[in-house]
Structure 1
Amino acid sequence: MSLSAVRPRIGRTRRTGGTRPARVRTALVTLVSLVGTVLVLALGSAPAAAHDYLVSTSPEADATVDVPPTSVDLTFNRSLLGVAPAMIVTDPAGETLVEGTPEIRDAVASMPMPSSMAEGTYRVAWSVVSSDGHRIQGAFAFSVGTPSLSSTDAAGPEGADDDPAAAVAEPGREQTDGGFPVWAAGLLGGLALLGVLAIVVVGRLRSRAATEATTPPGPAPAATTARTTTSPQGES
């Protein structure tokens, strides 16, 4: 009687996922792609965030009215931000008639006028913050009864150098102060948040890689053997 040889069966090794550097590279590529997408969307929408502009005034610029207005109203193309609006109205003598904060109602800035106004030309200087966060300002003139002078020759109000509402080149023109727009602040905030997320993700990946590197490997699985027997052969 003979026994067949015992053949050990080689155990299988476990197959792990990708290598640690590959996982780190994948995470970084994902974050960079996300940042690029945010930049493309922000820059693509930037032209749509153009400055607001003045649509009309009441009284109209360079108009002559018979009855003194009860208020000076400015209408813009979009709703205004109620952030420190200002308006100054000077009388025909160049003295300040009204100075203060106009009331903001959606896209309209309104300043009440006194009940008594002398005949002549009045100059209005204004300053508001548009919906995109930029401060815009301008000036125009109107007359009550007989004009006293042309709108282009209208004198600026006292304290024009100190008040942003009066810092205009000439009546009838608008200008912006080049302030920091709201959409740009939101973009920078989003990029800062993405940067923090990138630091957190990379830190966790590195911590996991260091933990795996210092953890000793487990025992290898025991090899299994198969034993076969043959029936004894008869002697001849």
Structure 2
Amino acid sequence: MSFSAVRPRTGRTGRTGGTRTARLRSALVTVISLLGTVLVLALGTAPAVAHDYLVSTSPEADATVDVPPTSVDLTFNRSLLGVAPAMIVTGPAGETLVEGTPEIRDAIASMPMPSSMAEGTYRVAWSVVSGDGHRIQGAFAFSVGTPSLSSTDAGAPEGAADAPTAAVAEPGREQADGGFPAWAAGVLGGLALLAVLAIVVVGSMRSRAATEAITPPDPAPAATARTSTSPPGES
């Protein structure tokens, strides 16, 4: 009688470990890619979601007009909130010509001017609340007839020291109160959410991998024997 042992099956531990590693690596790559994509998109679109900004003024900044304006109008890119807007206009001698609350009409802030205005340079300082709830402010100058001040001397009127002395600023360049910009807070919030998601995903994958690691492999089948019967007379 002869016996031939059958080789036991090889366990799946090696293959399972490789699969767990590949899953973890794939999950990490996916999460990092998402974080990078969100950051790039946020930085690329940040100016578009910044505070409201001044588009134009009437009279135009640093312009010289022959006829005194009946009002000073500020046009913004979006509708304003009618929350305590303010405007100060000073005359050529530095006197306060107009000080008060401009009328808010959608995206326009308008302040009426006196019927009589002397020749010279006038300075305008303004402050409004944009549609996102942040206060923005600025200053510019215009002249009636012959300018009495150069554009560099026509700063903010006295009593409006906090207003920038620049003319109509580029989009997003007005000074804004309220501290941290809303778009930046949104970006950080999104990144934080993705970071939490990454932690959850990686933790779940590790937990699953640990569970699979402590699960005993399939038991090897018992060895079987093949029995051969020798012909009569043979030993």
TM-score bin, normalised by smaller chain: 0.5 to 0.7
Contact 1:64–1:142, Cα closer than 8 Å, also in 2: yes
Flag the 1:218–1:55 CA change in 2: closer, same or farther, 3 A.
Answer: closer
For residues 100 and 125 of structure 2, the distance between their equivalents in structure 1, rounded to whole angstroms, comes to 10
Contact 1:87–1:111, Cα closer than 8 Å, also in 2: no
SS in 1 for 2:41: helix
Give aligned pairs, total: 218
**TM-fit CA distance, 1:196:** 0.9
Contact 1:128–1:137, Cα closer than 8 Å, also in 2: no
- What is the RMSD of the two structures over their aligned residues, measured on CA atoms? 4.4
For residues 101 and 227 of structure 1, the distance between their equivalents in structure 2, rounded to whole angstroms, comes to 104
**TM-fit CA distance, 1:54:** 4.4
Q: TM-score, normalised to structure 2's length?
A: 0.63
Q: Does 1:168 align with 2:164?
A: yes
SS in 2 for 1:57: strand
Contact 1:31–1:198, Cα closer than 8 Å, also in 2: yes
Contact 1:123–1:155, Cα closer than 8 Å, also in 2: yes
Structure 2 stretches lacking a partner, 5+ long = none
Q: Does 1:217 align with 2:216?
A: yes
SS in 1 for 2:212: helix
Q: What residue in structure 1 maps to residue 16 of structure 2?
A: 17
SS in 2 for 1:17: helix
Q: What residue in structure 2 maps to residue 118 of structure 1?
A: 116
**TM-fit CA distance, 1:226:** 8.1
Q: Equivalent pairs: percent with the same residue?
A: 46
Q: What residue in structure 1 maps to residue 39 of structure 2?
A: 39
Flag the 1:208–1:46 CA change in 2: closer, same or farther, 3 A.
Answer: same
Contact 1:124–1:140, Cα closer than 8 Å, also in 2: yes
**TM-fit CA distance, 1:86:** 3.9
Q: Does 1:64 align with 2:72?
A: no
Greater relative CO (CA pairs within 8 A, separation 6+)? 2
**TM-fit CA distance, 1:193:** 1.4
Flag the 1:194–1:169 CA change in 2: closer, same or farther, 3 A.
Answer: same
Contact 1:98–1:113, Cα closer than 8 Å, also in 2: no
Contact 2:87–2:111, Cα closer than 8 Å, also in 1: no
Q: Which amino acid aligns with 1:97?
A: V
